[in-house]
Amino acid sequence: MENQLPEYLRMPVNAAPNEKNVVRCGDVRITVITPRLIRIEQGAFTDDATTVVLCRDLGLCEAQVTRADDVVRINTGALEIAYRAGAPLA
């Protein structure tokens, strides 16, 4: 579908994440966008903008990443998640 908005109303977006905020584990990509916002994708990854998030590069987001056996843990100070390689996302 062709963009119907006049040029002056269009907002340039770059929805690609800061690669320093990306953790990969097998076919899963985990992006720490903010200390309280994490994006998890499995399989095919997309960097297109969404209605909620137009930009995923909000600068470097400090997070502690640890790997033990086949588990990756990410702790931002505000939240902690763990993912086991190969596990399905539900």
pLDDT in tens, 61-88: 999 999 999 999 999 999 999 999 999 8
Residue 76 CB coordination number (10 Å): 18
Distances (CA, A) of 9 to 12, 44, 67: 10, 31, 45
Structure tokens at 83: 């993912």
**Once rounded to an integer, what is the mean pLDDT over residues 10-35?**
90
pLDDT one-digit tens code per residue, 28-73: 999 999 999 999 999 888 888 787 777 788 889 999 999 999 999 9
Burial class from Cβ neighbours inside 10 Å (0-12, 13-18, 19+) for residue 81 reads middle
- The alpha-helical segments, DSSP class H, found in 11-68 are none
In whole angstroms, give the CA distance from residue 48 to residue 41: 13
pLDDT at 67: 96
pTM: 0.81
Q: Is the pLDDT of residue 7 over 90?
A: no
Task: Write the CA distances from 50 to 11, 13, 16, 37, 82, integer angstroms.
Answer: 13, 10, 11, 14, 25
Predicted pLDDT at 25: 92
